Structure 1
Amino acid sequence: MASSNGSAGTLTQMLRMADDQALVDLLLNRPDLAFPPPTGLSDIASRATTRHSVAAAVDCLNAFELDMARRACGFPQGFAPEDLAATLGEGSSASPDDTASTDDIAAAVARLRKLALVWGGDGRLRPVRALVPVLWPGAADTGGVPTVLGPAPAPHPPTFPDAPRQFSGLVDKVAAGSAFEFVRRVDVLLEHCAVQPVRLRRDGVVASRQIREVGRLLDVPAAVATQHLQIAEAAGLLGVAATGSYEVLVPSADFEPWQDRSLAAQWATLAQAWRDNSAASGPAWLKQLSLTAFGDPRDGRALPVEAVRTWLAWQRPRHGTLIDRKTTSALNQATELGLLGLGAVASYAPFLDVAGLETHLPPRSDEVLLQADLTAVAPGPLAAAAARELGAIADIESRGGATVYRFSSTTLLRGAEQGWHPDAILAMLSARSRTPVPQPLVYLIRDLARANTPTEPRPERVVRVHGVARISAPDESAETRLDRAAAGATVATLRTTEDAGASDELLPARAPGQMERSPVDTLREAVETGEAVWISSADDEGRAIERTITAHSVDSGCLRGVEHRSDAPVDVPVRRITGAHILRRAT
């Protein structure tokens, strides 16, 4: 964490000395620190030292960084990177061909400091107190952190030089074909939901029978059909509408704008939703790192599942069970989406390059071939307007290289209910078809007119997306995602708040009547610094009790430590503490 010159005496001081960029990076790497909005940097420091937050940050470390964090726990009074290097000794790496250098250790320590898992100056860093119980759960019962550790893991991720290679141009073509098919299937699914909404059970889950019907429509297994529904919902293209006593899945108001985009842009929306927002397919980090494992797409490196698991196990060693369970399905879905082809990553996949994919996709068409068997054949992807018009008056019967639409009295009646007059249907088909409208289809449409079918449009559906009743899909909630702009705004607000009282942190001890703004913040700072803290609390009868203690932990709503006067351990409920300040010598 970049800071000004000088050594920070507390984590709060280190945060105040850090530049804005370092604070933004901290919030992006540990978004739990930003919600709910913090009141000051002391609030950030307080949250950053809780066991839950520390465990979440540790989960983001790679194998070598995690090992350095475990070694740092053996230096509660402070350490320098050289001290960690000294613990490695002979045979310092489990991988003889990848031994840790001083630069590797310094980079790992910098990462720990960037995540606020260690604090202090460059020459004397200390691990936050909660790091020990997170990484060494039994240390308190076994006499502390072990002083002798085994060899460190490799400081760099595994490489796969012997992996087979595929021609990158061929990889792109195969992956683009999968991307094209995926977009078409989602488009078919959404058109189907527009005219025949998928009904939900009372618990809000799509019934198995409905899933099987969607699978038959898309010509995919039921599990893959479920993934299509999940990705369409994650992209904000599907929502929930109430119809009488039950709810159904229908396209959101974002569906038509999505249809108007190019095929590549449609794919990018779906691929990003799968990667970042589809929790059912696995956490975002697993999917992102899985694609990174393949390296430079120009190399065409084709990796088996086990190689990707090995890569992920180094990147996130604390998620071994999740990696074993989700890696295969994540790679299969990436292949279905067109991110992978022939076992290698496509060149356009890492950054969802729309222009790169566009060159491999066929152009859209607005024409169909009408046939005497009451079908229309679209030889390629239809333009959005043509697809909407045909979808209103016909059902998709089959898909593949060409899409076949089937006309029937039921589908034409459905179009009439949406406002399509028979003359308008005939005019539209004449304009769209390369061949004359077949006579059987003309008779079927004229029968609709003779039946005097009402042609009033259906009322607009109100769609509830992500649990909120509305016409259009909602914007991304700040509670689920923190981007750089939001993190920057939070840091700017904190700087403004800190301006008035930033100097208070550096003052010598306060008199007992001068209280910290938040007793919990003060207590957690005392735990980190090991300094004595004066507290005022209420006993069972409401009487005030003052004491000086050395705080050991603040966890589960309780302050634990040793009282100075009696040298006895004490447990004080935090809810009863009315004030606290650190007894710090004046300088």
Structure 2
Amino acid sequence: MSTLANTFADELRLRSESDLAALFTLRPDLLSPVPNDFSALAARANSTPSLVRALDSLNLWHYQIVEAACSIAEPFKKSELIAVTSSETTFAIENLWQLGLIYKDGDKYRTPTNLKLLIGDEPVGLGPIYPGKADLNKLKDVPKTSEAVLAKLTWGPPRGQITDIKKPGTAIGWLLDNNILIPMDSHTVALPREFGIKLRGGKVHKELSIKAPDLTGKKLSQKQIDLAAIANISTVMRWCEELLHNLSDEPPTALRTGGIGIRDLKRIAEHIGVDEACAGFIAELCYLGGLLVIDPDDQILPTSAFDLWLTKDPEERWYSLAVLWLESSRVAGLIGKSSDKNIAPLGPELDRAGVGLIKQTTLKVLLENEEITPEITSLQSIVKWFNPQRANNDFIEWNIREAEWLGITGQGALSTYGKNLISSAEVLGIEAALPKPVDHILIQADNSAVAPGPLTPELAAEMGTLADIESRGGATVYRFSEASIRRGLDHGKTGDQIKTFLTKISKTPMPQPLDYLIADIAKRHGRLRVGQAHSYIRCEDEAIVQQILHDKKCEHLRLRKIAPTVLVSEFELTEVISELREFGYLPAA
């Protein structure tokens, strides 16, 4: 490029159409909306949000080159950047230029202004640039007593604290007198950047991570992986159904800040037979899929979409949840982890930027290392190499755990179903691999029942209402109790209907103790009724009570007579008093 480009906008203006197309491909946010001119394009490319996105796309090696570029004086030659990094940097420079993270100024390069602010004032632990020309030859004359000071500051942090700049001591005093250290204030000295790089052997980094580390782990066969994964898929579908049916039976009240409270989460976890971390994840998964909602009364309930979801085939049901998990920015692993307050499932505190990127990278690593169950530390180091800005060890570990729960992995390795999900295959292969659902149970003499396989959705829902799950596995064991039978009656069934249903679906005869239990509970059920009232009206004069009850002006108060001298209403006390006074009555609170 023969023409000098004094500004970033000038340099962008001089780029060819193909170079601009490459920039927009690598940084699509620059086109939303389309900039009016090159000055607007440069301003957007230099904006903090856009630069953060660009940095997020870098692997560790390229990020280290950006750090190095921000460490040396500008404008810098390509050879100067290579000198403080590595000969392989030649290939990285072209990529960074295409991204707009460096730009050309004649035969030299500069970095966008805001990029330096993002990298920081002390990149890679290097101190401030020396004000003037640094005499690096003075490092040859450093006395032994001062070498220890420089050793502490060389790899950062580059600042040191002293008691008094006027009385620094012999070792620091010599360094100050020879301008190898510079005073920052009366108690702080710093090692200038040029001296720091020289002391580091002319390099910015102690070690350049040019290549991603190799993945280490245990070798498995794809058959082993898929067997584990399909069991996980079957299990996670059952967890979702059981959780949603339980919320329908016993809807918890959402916290004021939104989400499920600790007690309700423990109860749900106990009901579906998992720990609270897993229960929180399942609740989040159903929430993502639109299968549950916090209604206007703050009740957490299944939606009508749950009924439609149950009618779909298992592969479609699983896909609808798994694909949303891939794209989600919510981190279920944070549930209950905060030290200052509890983070609740369905709450607003679970969103984290960059989580989707970490998931994609994690699964990409597994895809490139098939049939390997990785060691978690090895996987974390690789993902952090690809996403140095966003990767978090906890997030990576939680992603792997959730992928296992979902069946995207089996025993930690990517399953066939996970591969098909990532590649957007039309057929995932789940339908053929899942065990066929059964439509019967085996009632035992001890008031238990065994389902010899996964029950059909309709049967599972009915059994979940009439009995409690005692154990899970290849076969599910249900337990009938007074509480579970009463739950069925509360759902509108009669004792005879329960007996008929169980007789129809059981391959074994109904034992007499269970028959007696159902009959006894049904006989006693409903004798005592409980209702709800917010306020009452009591008057010794029954005629006035009757007058109020039949007064058309009072109809909207929904008054009910529960005794000759007592009426109750669903409205609050203050509203009932106000209305009665308006209609000519003179109540007292």
Whether 1:67 and 2:51 are equivalent positions in the alignment is no
Partner of 1:384: 457
Contact 1:190–1:238 (CA<8 Å) still a contact in 2?
yes
Give the structure 1 partner of residue 346 of structure 2.
none
Match of 2:331 in 1: 279
The amino acid across from 2:66 in the alignment is A
Q: CA deviation at 1:311?
A: 0.4
| Aligned mate of 1:158, from 184, 196, 213 | 213
CA 410–164 in structure 1, closer or farther in 2 if over 3 Å, else same: closer
Q: Matched residues in 2 for 1:9 and 1:204: separation?
A: 50
Whole-Å separation in 2 of the counterparts to 1:396 and 1:44: 61
CA apart distance, 1:306: 1.5
Which residue among 193, 199, 204 is the counterpart of 2:258? 204
Tell me the SS of whatever aligns to 1:302: strand
Structure 2 residue runs without a partner (length 5+): 1-7, 132-192, 334-351, 528-589
Q: CA RMSD in A?
A: 4.1
Secondary structure of the residue that 2:478 maps to in structure 1? Answer: strand
Q: Cα 1:167–1:84, aligned 2, differ >3 Å: closer, same or farther?
A: farther
Paired letter, 2:332: A
2:118 maps to: 134
Q: 1:253 is matched by which residue type in structure 2? A: S
Match for 1:55 among 41, 52, 56?
52
8 A Cα contact 1:71 1:84, kept in partner: no
Please, which of 81, 89, 104 is the counterpart of residue 87 of structure 1? Answer: 81
Retained in 1: the 8 A contact 2:122–2:128? yes
Indicate conservation of the 8 Å contact 2:68/2:204, yes or no. no
**1:113 counterpart = 2:98:** yes
| Deviation of the 1:240 alpha carbon | 1.5
With 267-276 and 56-65 compared, the bigger mean Cα shift is at 267-276
8 Å Cα contact 1:68-1:84 kept in structure 2: no
Residue 212 (structure 1) shift: 2.4
| Residue range with higher mean Cα deviation, 342-351 or 147-156 | 147-156
Greater fraction of residues in strand: 1
TM superposition score normalised by structure 2:
0.60
How many angstroms apart in 2 are the aligned matches of 1:347 and 1:294? 12
Asked whether 1:225 is paired with 2:279, we answer: yes
SS in 1 for 2:301: strand
Paired AA for residue 197 in structure 1: P
Residue 249 and residue 436 in structure 1: after superposition, are their counterparts in 2 closer, same or farther (change >3 A)? same
Give the number of equivalent residue pairs: 423
| Cα distance in 1 between the residues matched to 2:506 and 2:22 | 59
Name 1:344's counterpart in structure 2.
Answer: 413
- Give the C-alpha shift of residue 195 in structure 1: 0.8
Is the contact between residue 84 and residue 203 of structure 2 (CA under 8 Å) also seen in structure 1?
A: no
1:165–1:302 Cα contact (<8 Å) kept? yes
Displacement after TM superposition at 1:239 (Å): 1.9
Matching of residue 310 in structure 1 with residue 381 in structure 2: yes
TM-score, length of structure 1 as denominator length? 0.60
Bigger helix share: 2
- The equivalent of 1:293 in structure 2 is 365
Deviation at 1:307, TM superposition (A): 0.8
Q: Secondary structure at the match of 2:219?
A: coil
Equivalent-residue separation in structure 2 for 1:250 and 1:367 (angstroms) = 29
Q: Where do residues 284-433 of structure 1 align in structure 2 (5 Å cutoff)?
A: 284-296=356-368, 298=370, 300-319=371-390, 323-352=392-421, 355-422=428-495, 424-433=497-506
TM-superposition CA deviations, 1:429-458 (whole Å, max 9, x none)? 34433334444444555556656869xxxx
For the residues of structure 2 that align with 1:25 and 1:384, how far apart are their CA atoms? Answer: 46
TM-superposed CA distance for 1:62, in Å, is 0.8
SS of residue matched to 2:372: coil
Report the secondary structure of 2:502's partner residue: helix
SS at match of 1:388: helix
Q: How does 1:27-46 map to 2 (within 5 A)?
A: 27=28, 30=29, 34=32, 46=43
CA distance in 1, matches of 2:498, 2:41: 63
Give the aligned residue type for 2:437. Answer: R
Partner deviation per Cα, 1:235-269 (whole Å, 9 max, x = no partner): 332322355xxx34222232223333333443334
Partner Cα separation in structure 2 for residue 75 and residue 364 of structure 1: 67
1:86 to partner: Cα distance:
6.1
Q: Contact 1:304–1:343 (CA<8 Å) still a contact in 2?
A: no
CA distance in 1, matches of 2:365, 2:466: 47
Q: Distance in 2 between matches of 1:356 and 1:153?
A: 43
SS in 2 for 1:381: coil
CA–CA separation in structure 2 for the residues paired with 1:274 and 1:127: 37
Counterparts of 1:491-570 in structure 2 under 5 Å? none
Q: Choose which of 225, 230, 235 in structure 2 pairs with 1:176.
A: 230
Give runs of aligned pairs for residues 233-248 of structure 1, distance below 5 A.
Answer: 233-241=287-295, 243=297, 247-248=298-299
Question: Take 2:16 and 2:244, find their aligned partners in 1: how far apart are those partners?
Answer: 49
5 Å-filtered alignment, 1:16-35, equals: 23=24, 26-27=27-28, 30=29, 34=32
Q: Residue deviations 1:264-315, cap 9 Å, x none?
A: 44333443344332333372222322232234354x2232122112102211
Query: Equivalents in 2 of 1:265, 1:358: separation in Å?
Result: 9
Identity of aligned residues (%): 27
Instruction: Say if 1:425 and 1:47 are closer, same or farther in 2 by CA, change over 3 A.
Output: farther
Which entry has the higher C-alpha Rg, 1 or 2? 2
Question: How many Å apart are 1:17 and its aligned residue?
Answer: 7.9
- Work out the CA distance in 2 between the residues paired with 1:125 and 1:259: 60
1:167 shift after superposition: 1.9
Give, in angstroms, the shift of residue 388 of structure 1. 2.4
CA distance in 2, matches of 1:358, 1:261: 11
Q: Residues 8 and 121 of structure 1 are in contact (CA less than 8 Å); yes or no, is this contact kept in structure 2?
A: no
Over 3 Å counting, the alpha-carbon distance change for 1:104 and 1:44 in structure 2 is closer
- The 3-state SS of whatever aligns with 2:304 is coil
> CA offset at residue 40 of structure 1?
5.5
The answer on whether the counterparts of 2:85 and 2:203 sit within 8 Å (CA) in structure 1 is no
Residue aligning to 1:578: none
The 2-side partners of 1:44 and 1:347 are apart by 44
Q: Give the gaps of 5 or more residues in structure 1.
A: 1-6, 94-99, 455-587
Between the two structures, name the one with larger relative contact order (CA 8 Å, sep ≥ 6): 1
User: How many Å separate the matches in 2 of 1:198 and 1:134?
Assistant: 44
| 1:186/1:228 contact within 8 Å kept | yes
User: What is the CA-CA distance between 1:47 and the residue it aligns to?
Assistant: 3.6
Q: Secondary structure at the match of 1:87?
A: helix
CA, structure 1 residues 64+405, in 2 after alignment: closer, same or farther (shift >3 Å)?
same
